[in-house]
């Protein structure tokens, strides 16, 4: 049992998904706990892989079996290496925690069988994605998680008003079914481009196996470089796929609406796991493009890293600005997710900026992925508990909740500190690592962009904490309370799940530096195994001394105004908006999501709508008329013309003489089709007779 | 044991036709049993196909010879190419026969109103005796080794089941129905005529109608005319732009219980293209690679856009067929090992998916009496199994794993990209546009799911009688979905069979 553990990891959630329906027929509780049990098995098995992280020289391990033998042999396999171990554990462990949380959150829902089915199917698919050893099965997992995301965002498919997202009026609302469709189409747009990239890679390399791709890169990358622009094209296609799934600019607009799904879905799929699959995939492709640029000397390969770093940095900034003005709690967290994934992308992009930053960038990106998965899952679960209790998605309908929901407040506060990057929480260590690597690459513009985003992150984090837990009770809460709905803490399984994640955040925070070291060692050995040159770490100490200082200053810059505005409530933010027209304009710009979403709707939805509705009018109907009216009417026309010529009458006179009253216009077409068909048969008969003769 | 069944291929082809004639002759004594007799007949031929399949998978090529004239031999051949095609098509026939039992009852009532039992039985037996000709036609085309025999079965399909079923059991009023039936006949005959002229042209050259002799035409400068004529006939059958105009009419007005078979009727031309053109004349066919691929691309995109513009649920499915069929043609046009095998696999996955999709559209019309998607909405709460079937169909058309369409599209596009990367940048654009067009499929399939099934239930649908259809309609379709998933997870047997024949191009 080595790599085979990976198979079982994938298999158990799928079994859970298929057993949900039969178990529900036995007893609903058996279905609920059974489903959670299968995710527990996956989590336990993935934990068994962790010891290998400390023995990276024993890695990578593979286990394969033949899937296809013709037209070429294709294997299905598992790859156990530091990256897949980290990802599998994040997916399986956090999924299990969220499954436990779901027991309370989804209690009483009439579609629980469907819920458990989708959730387990998602966990299995996600594990398939991160544990597969080849691009085909990675892509299968990739497509399946997209489908599960669609099913779970649109879980409340009846579109009752209470599940709408967006608003308040005049801002438009979005129904769950619309949000699901939007997510599916936007992410699928990336998927098809990714597919194109994979096919081109296969056309040159002849393999889909990741390790084979790395090993044979010295053959196929130079060959690909012979076609100018090909490496650049492949880079862009692969990036598009990854950005689609990870909601990065310009494919980012689906994620805010994806919050229409139930709370656990937002936590699991749209914060902790699926949206990270793009980061994972980019990390998988790094060795290929690193080889292409730094060893094979293909200049085009450098664009892969430049595009990722800049698009990541830009998304981090763009999404953070939108997070500053959001009034829906989960949407604020969704913007934050996009922003934090932007950080990860930035770090991964930096890994290709210079040979010494390869390990640094890769480690910091993946390290931030781990810490973000923990604190964002916790934040979303807490948000789910709050929305569940308050029965509103708007933060303006909340306020002063820390007294009635003390546990949720503590857990959310811990996670928020980690999001802000406050020491000693894991967010501090991972963000610090990203800043260090960007500075080590001597890429100052990206470094400052990241630093500014730290300040903005700090602002919106304190803002949502302040709006939810501090200040006065909102009218909404006051209106609800007399109706006999006292605000109680969430269900015990929900508190337990959030508490467990908070504990993990603290533990990881305390082990932050060590975790980074383990990861670095693991990736170093991985890169050496595939013969990539790993250069020693330089100037680490100086960087690690100064960067935290910069980071903490940035946190303070963002935190202080937010603290005065949303916790102490010294000034009403609305007054500031009224007073300063520039800030108001900026607010409007951010509130309208930089007008990107509006542009997409105008161009892709309305534009396409106009385009395809004009097709019947301008192409299909004229073609149809030609084939089904003009051609079949030819015999009739010939008959008319013949009749006119032979009778010597005028056209009108002849028509008057032959037409019958009440004759249907279709008769001519009937006659036409019949005659033409008969003509075909006669012609055929003659041809056959001729040849036979 | 499995080798002891005599005339196995002849039985597969002829038995449905003989049962059909029997049903017609003893229709007054059959009561309501005609549908079940058809089901049993098709289950019998499916069993025979499975037995033949085992033999072929073990490496045997089954060939039966029946001389019917001095120049035409009625030979039947089951190899790795014809057998899987015939088996999957026959399975679709079985599923739709089950589906037709309740559906045609409803259809007769819808067209002819409450008629006396004798009249009703007459219509019912008439439908089922015509239905069996589908199986005969498809099996004949699949196993034919002779061009004239192939043509004969193509014409059988066009004239007997398609024309008569459409004219008697189609939608709209009698005039419109008969017009569309004639239209279908006209296009079918037009396509077949070009095909026949091509056959005769080949006969003049090689003095034989045997497909296996066609390779003698290879390298001949006049072969291009033969390919062109046959291709023209097949492109009409395949509803490739601009010859697609018959498809929306015919599909939309036919009774939905045979709509899945209409997709087979059109798509089987892909199989004929491989059998008659690509395999025997591999090098000569290369001249047509780029034009075919461009035509396929145009049809893919145009068909998808046309689908997006539809509100009528039946026309919606019809237009999607136009788009989907051209995927296989794109694969065949690239003419690489991967793309041909993938293209054929895509043809099989498409007919499975389209049978589910079309039949589900039929269920919607059967249950609600509505065809306009704008008048539907929120039906998932009342018809969960139907919603599931629609989603399975949507997944199949959009090539989502684990359904068979995923590996087929993967294999096909691998081949197309191999072709594209070996050419210039312009040639690489073909697979790039092709793969990007998948997004249009995802958009129209899942958008239709939203329009029909999700959101609040429309007030006009809040009736008690609107519910999931009888199990005889839904269960066979679900089983077809499972089959697609099984073959998608484990496509090896199918691929091995196809590869055993297609590999000769290497």
| Residue that has been written with the tokens 């919106």 in this structure | A460
pLDDT for A687 = 67
For residue B20, give the nearest of B37, B44, B2 by alpha carbon: B37
A189 CB neighbours in chain B (<8 A) are 439
Residues of A with Cβ-Cβ distance to B436 under 8 angstroms: 192-193, 196
Per residue in A536-590, pLDDT tens? 766 667 777 788 999 999 999 999 999 999 999 989 999 999 999 999 999 999 9
Per-residue pLDDT tens over the stretch B20-38 = 999 988 887 877 789 999 9
What local confidence, expressed as pLDDT, does residue A55 receive?
86
pLDDT at position A647 is 73
Among A24, A75, A196, most B C-beta atoms within 10 A, so best to mutate, is A196
Decide: residue A57, CB within 10 A, 0-12 exposed, 13-18 middle, 19+ buried.
exposed
Of residues B203, B273, B201, the one with CA closest to residue B237 = B273
Answer whether residue A44 shows pLDDT above 60: yes
Task: Look at residues A415, A413, A313, A323 and name the one whose alpha carbon lies nearest to residue A373.
Answer: A415
Predicted local confidence at residue A664, as pLDDT: 44
Encode pLDDT of B460-476 as tens digits: 999 888 999 999 999 99
Q: A58 falls in which pLDDT band (50, 70, 90)?
A: confident
Task: Please tell me the predicted confidence (pLDDT) of residue A539.
Answer: 61
* Separation between Cα atoms, residue B135 and residue B93, nearest integer Å: 7
For residue B504, the chain A residue with the least C-alpha distance is A71
Tell me the pLDDT of chain A averaged across its residues. Answer: 91
Q: Do B414 and A202 touch (CB under 8 A)?
A: yes
Residue of A143, A175, A669 lying closest to B455 (CB–CB): A175
Tell me whether A160 touches chain B (CB under 8 Å).
Answer: yes
For residue A661, name the pLDDT band (cuts at 50, 70, 90): very low
This model of the complex carries an ipTM of 0.95
Nearest Cβ partner for B442 among A68, A185, A204: A185
Q: How many CB atoms lie within 10 A of CB A658?
A: 12
Structure-derived torsion over alpha carbons of residues B226, B228, B234, B235, reported in degrees to the nearest 10: 180
For chains A and B, count residue pairs whose Cβ atoms are closer than 8 Å.
167
Q: For B179, which of A159, A189, A666 is closest by C-beta distance?
A: A666
Count CB atoms within 10 A of the CB of residue B18: 13
Please tell me the distance in Å from B114's CA to the nearest CA on chain A. 28
For A43-66, give the secondary structure using H, E and C.
HHHHHHCHHHHHCHHHCCEEEEEE
Q: Tokens standing for B368?
A: 């609600």
φ, ψ (nearest 5 deg) of residue A80: -110, 110
- Mean pLDDT computed over B169-188: 85
B499 to chain A nearest CA, in Å? 6
With CA atoms as reference, the chain B residue closest to A621 would be B245
Place of tokens 């216009």: A665
Per-residue confidence (pLDDT) for residue A689, from 0 to 100? 67
With beta carbons less than 8 A apart as the criterion, state whether B356 and B393 touch: yes
The answer to whether residues A554 and A454 touch, using CB atoms and an 8 Å cutoff, is yes
Q: How many CB atoms lie within 10 A of CB A552?
A: 18
**Percent of chain B clearing pLDDT 90 (strictly above):** 76
Q: What is the pLDDT of residues A298-343, one digit of tens each?
A: 999 999 999 999 999 999 999 999 999 999 999 999 999 999 999 9
- Give the nearest partner residue to B186 out of A184, A202, A676, using CB atoms: A676
Distance CA B10, CA B140 (A): 9
Report DSSP letters for A135-196, one per residue. HHHHHHHHHHHHHHHHHHHTSSTT--GGG-EE-STTSPEE-HHHHHHHHHHHHHHHHHHHHH
Quick one: residue A484, left, alpha or beta (phi over 0 = left, psi -120 to 50 = alpha)?
Answer: left
Distance from CA of A397 to the nearest CA of B (A): 26
**What is the pLDDT averaged over residues B241-263?**
91
Place of tokens 């005796």: B129
How far apart are alpha carbons A629 and A614 in whole angstroms? 21
Angle at B365 between CA B360 and CA B367, to 5 degrees: 90
Write down the pLDDT at residue A486: 61
CB A292 within 8 A of CB A218: no
Nearest residue in B to A159, CA atom: B455
pLDDT in tens, A584-607: 999 999 999 999 999 999 999 999
Give the closest of A71, A150, A200 to B337, CB-based: A71
* Paired tokens of A289: 């493009």
Percentage of chain B exceeding pLDDT 70: 98
CA distances from A359 to A349, A356, A365, A433, A526 (A): 12, 7, 10, 11, 10
Contact B413/A140, CB-based, under 8 Å?
no
Q: What is the pLDDT of residues B126-166, one digit of tens each?
A: 999 999 999 999 999 999 999 989 999 998 998 899 999 99
Q: Taking CA atoms, what residue in B is nearest to A198?
A: B414
Average pLDDT, integer, range B162-190: 87
Mean pLDDT of B75-99: 96
Q: Is residue A77 a contact partner of residue A105, using CB atoms and an 8 Å limit? A: no
B170: left (phi over 0), alpha (psi -120 to 50) or beta: beta
Tokens 């055929």 belong to A684
What is the number of residues in chain A?
693
Residue of B nearest to A627 (CA): B245
Residues B433 and B297: beta-carbon distance below 8 Å? yes
Q: What does the alpha-carbon distance between residue B308 and residue B42 come to, in Å, rounded to a whole number?
A: 36
**C-alpha dist (Å) from residue A270 to A44, A150, A377, A584:** 23, 11, 9, 30
How much is the pLDDT for A599?
A: 96
From residue B344, how far is each of A610, B212, B349, B350, B378 by CA, in Å?
A: 35, 20, 9, 10, 37
> What is the rounded average pLDDT of the residues B362-379?
94
Query: pLDDT tens, A477-503?
Result: 888 766 555 667 788 899 999 999 999
Alpha-carbon span A423 to A425, nearest angstrom: 5
pLDDT of residue A662: 44
| A271/A560: higher pLDDT | A560
Residue-wise over A6-28: b if at least 16 C-beta within 10 A, else e? bbbbbbbbbbbbebbeebbeeee
Lowest-confidence region among A519-523, A672-676, B114-118, B348-352: A672-676
pLDDT beyond 90 at B433:
yes
d(CA A97, CA A267) in angstroms, rounded, equals 10
List helix spans (H) across B335-424. 337-368, 384-397, 405-421
Inspect the interface and report whether the beta carbons of A632 and B186 lie closer than 8 Å: yes
Report the pLDDT value the prediction gives residue A663, as an integer from 0 to 100: 44
pLDDT in the model for residue B178: 86
Q: Is A202 on the interface with B (CB under 8 A)?
A: yes
Q: Hey, what are A445's tokens?
A: 């513009």
Residue from A162, A201, A677 to probe the interface with B (highest B Cβ count within 10 Å):
A677
Cβ <8 Å between B414 and A158: no
Structure confidence at residue B94 as a pLDDT band (50, 70, 90): very high
Neighbours of B15 (CB within 10 A): 20
Contact call for B193 and A684, based on CB within 8 A = yes
CA distance, residue A66 to nearest chain B CA (Å): 9
Q: What angle do CA B298, B304, B305 make, to 5 degrees?
A: 90
Contact B373, B312 (CB under 8 A): yes
Tell me which residue has tokens 């299995």: A124
Residue whose pair of structure tokens reads 């096919």 in the numeric block: A199
Question: pLDDT tens digits for B385-428?
Answer: 999 999 999 999 999 999 999 999 999 999 999 999 988 888 89
Give φ, ψ of B243 to 5 degrees: -90, 20
Contact B189 A681 (CB under 8 A): yes
Instruction: Please give the helix or strand (H or E) that residue B62 lies within, else none.
Output: strand B62-64
A195 touches chain B (CB under 8 A): yes
Q: Is A611 on the interface with B (CB under 8 A)?
A: yes
Gap from A354 CA to chain B (nearest CA, Å): 31
Least confident of A145-154, A219-228, B109-118, B441-450: B109-118
């Amino acid at each position: 049992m080595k790599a085979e553990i990976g198979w079982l990891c994938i298999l158990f959630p799928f079994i859970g998904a298929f057993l949900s329906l039969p178990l529900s027929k036995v007893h609903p509780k058996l279905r609920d706990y059974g489903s959670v049990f299968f995710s527990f098995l996956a989590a336990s098995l993935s934990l068994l892989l962790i010891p290998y992280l400390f023995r990276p020289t024993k890695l990578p391990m593979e286990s394969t079996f033949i899937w296809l033998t013709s037209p070429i042999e294709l294997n299905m396999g598992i790859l156990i290496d530091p990256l897949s171990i980290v990802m599998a554990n994040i997916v399986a462990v956090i999924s299990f925690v969220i499954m436990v949380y779901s027991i309370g959150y989804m209690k009483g829902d009439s579609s629980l069988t469907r819920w458990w089915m989708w959730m387990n199917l998602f966990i299995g698919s996600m594990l398939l994605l991160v544990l597969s050893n080849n691009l085909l099965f990675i892509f299968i997992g990739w497509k399946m998680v997209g489908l599960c995301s669609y099913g779970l965002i649109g879980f409340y498919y009846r579109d009752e008003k209470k599940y709408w997202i967006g608003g308040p009026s005049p801002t438009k609302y979005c129904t769950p079914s619309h949000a699901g469709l939007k997510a599916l189409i936007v992410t699928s747009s990336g998927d098809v481009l990714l597919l194109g990239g994979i096919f081109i890679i296969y056309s040159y390399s002849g393999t889909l196996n990741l390790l084979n791709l790395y090993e044979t890169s010295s053959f196929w990358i130079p060959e690909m470089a012979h076609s100018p622009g090909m490496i650049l094209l492949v880079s862009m296609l692969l990036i598009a796929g990854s950005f689609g799934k990870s909601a990065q600019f310009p494919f980012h607009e689906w994620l805010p609406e994806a919050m229409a799904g139930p709370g656990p879905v937002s936590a699991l799929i749209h914060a902790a796991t699926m949206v990270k699959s793009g980061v994972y995939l980019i990390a998988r492709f790094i060795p290929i493009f690193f080889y292409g640029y730094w060893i094979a000397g293909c200049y085009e390969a450098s664009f892969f890293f430049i595009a990722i770093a800049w698009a990541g940095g830009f998304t981090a900034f763009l999404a953070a600005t939108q997070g500053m003005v959001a009034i829906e709690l989960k949407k604020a967290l969704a913007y934050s997710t996009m922003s934090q994934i932007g950080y990860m992308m930035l770090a991964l992009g930096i890994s290709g900026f210079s040979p010494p930053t390869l390990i640094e960038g890769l480690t910091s990106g993946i390290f931030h992925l781990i810490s973000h998965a923990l604190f964002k899952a916790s934040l979303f679960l807490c948000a789910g508990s709050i929305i569940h209790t308050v029965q509103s998605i708007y933060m303006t309908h909340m306020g002063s909740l820390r007294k009635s929901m003390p546990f949720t407040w503590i857990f959310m506060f811990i996670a928020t500190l980690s999001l802000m990057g406050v020491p000693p929480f894991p967010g501090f260590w991972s963000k610090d690592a990203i800043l260090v690597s960007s500075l080590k690459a001597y890429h100052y513009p990206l470094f400052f962009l990241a630093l500014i985003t730290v300040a903005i992150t700090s602002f919106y984090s304190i803002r949502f904490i302040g709006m939810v837990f501090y200040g006065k009770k909102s009218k909404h809460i006051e209106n609800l309370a007399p109706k006999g709905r006292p605000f109680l803490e969430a269900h015990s399984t929900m508190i337990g799940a959030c508490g467990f994640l908070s504990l993990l955040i603290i533990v990881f925070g305390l082990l932050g530096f060590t975790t980074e070291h383990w990861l670095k060692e693991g990736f170093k050995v991985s890169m050496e195994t595939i013969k990539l040159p790993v250069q020693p770490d330089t100037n680490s100490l100086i960087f690690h001394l100064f960067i935290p200082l910069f980071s903490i200053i940035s946190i303070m810059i963002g935190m202080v105004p937010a603290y005065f505005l949303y916790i102490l409530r010294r000034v009403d933010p609305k007054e500031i908006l009224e007073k300063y027209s520039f800030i108001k304009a900026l607010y409007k710009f951010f509130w309208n999501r930089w007008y990107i979403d509006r542009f997409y709707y105008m161009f892709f939805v309305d534009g396409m709508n106009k385009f395809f509705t004009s097709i019947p009018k301008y192409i299909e109907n004229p073609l149809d008329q030609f084939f089904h009216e003009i051609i079949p009417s030819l015999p009739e026309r010939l008959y008319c013309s013949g009749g006119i010529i032979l009778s010597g009458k005028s056209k009108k006179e002849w028509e008057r003489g032959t037409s019958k009253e009440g004759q249907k216009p279709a008769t001519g077409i009937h006659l036409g089709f019949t005659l033409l068909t008969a003509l075909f048969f006669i012609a055929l008969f003659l041809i056959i007779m001729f040849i036979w003769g | 044991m499995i080798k002891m069944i005599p005339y196995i291929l002849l039985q597969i082809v002829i038995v449905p036709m003989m049962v059909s004639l029997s049903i017609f002759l003893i229709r007054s004594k059959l009561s309501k049993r005609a549908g079940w007799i058809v089901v049993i007949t098709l289950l019998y031929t499916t069993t025979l196909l499975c037995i033949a399949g085992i033999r072929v998978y073990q490496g045997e090529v089954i060939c039966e010879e029946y001389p019917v004239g001095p120049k035409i031999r009625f030979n039947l051949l089951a190899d790795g190419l014809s057998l899987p095609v015939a088996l999957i098509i026959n399975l679709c026939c079985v599923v739709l026969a089950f589906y037709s039992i309740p559906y045609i009852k409803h259809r007769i009532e819808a067209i002819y109103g409450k008629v006396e039992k004798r009249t009703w039985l007459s219509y019912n037996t008439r439908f089922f005796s015509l239905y069996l000709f589908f199986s005969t036609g498809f099996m004949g085309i699949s196993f034919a080794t002779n061009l004239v025999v192939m043509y004969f079965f193509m014409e059988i399909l066009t004239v007997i089941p398609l024309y008569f079923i459409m004219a008697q059991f189609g939608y709209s009023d009698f005039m419109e129905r008969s017009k569309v039936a004639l239209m279908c006949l006209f296009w079918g005959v037009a396509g077949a005529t070009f095909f026949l002229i091509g056959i005769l042209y080949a006969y003049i050259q090689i003095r034989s109608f045997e497909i296996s002799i066609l390779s003698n035409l290879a390298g001949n400068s006049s072969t291009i005319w033969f390919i062109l004529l046959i291709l023209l006939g097949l492109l009409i059958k395949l509803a490739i732009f601009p010859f697609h105009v018959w498809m929306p009419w015919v599909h939309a007005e036919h009774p939905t219980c045979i709509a899945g078979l209409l997709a087979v009727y059109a798509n089987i031309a892909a199989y004929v293209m491989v059998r008659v053109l690509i395999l025997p004349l591999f090098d000569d066919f290369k001249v047509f690679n780029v034009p075919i691929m461009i035509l396929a691309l145009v049809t893919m995109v145009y068909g998808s856009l046309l689908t997006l513009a539809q509100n009528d649920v039946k026309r919606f499915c019809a237009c999607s067929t136009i788009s989907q069929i051209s995927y296989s043609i794109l694969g065949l046009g690239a003419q690489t090992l991967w793309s041909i095998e993938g293209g054929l696999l895509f043809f099989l996955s498409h007919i499975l998916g389209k049978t589910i999709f079309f039949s589900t559209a039929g269920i919607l019309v059967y249950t609600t009496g509505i065809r306009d998607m704008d008048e539907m909405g929120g039906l998932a709460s009342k018809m969960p199994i139907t919603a599931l079937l629609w989603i399975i169909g949507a997944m199949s058309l959009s090539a989502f794993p684990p359904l068979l369409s995923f590996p087929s599209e993967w294999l096909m596009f691998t081949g197309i990209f191999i072709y594209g990367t070996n050419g210039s940048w312009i040639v690489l654009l073909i697979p790039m546009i092709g793969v990007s067009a998948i997004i249009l499929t995802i958009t129209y399939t899942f958008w239709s799911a939203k329009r029909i099934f999700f959101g609040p239930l429309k007030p006009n649908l809040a009736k008690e009688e609107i519910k999931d259809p009888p199990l005889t309609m839904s269960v066979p379709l679900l089983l077809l979905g499972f089959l697609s998933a099984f073959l998608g997870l484990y496509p090896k047997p199918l691929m091995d069979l196809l590869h055993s024949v297609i590999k000769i191009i290497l």
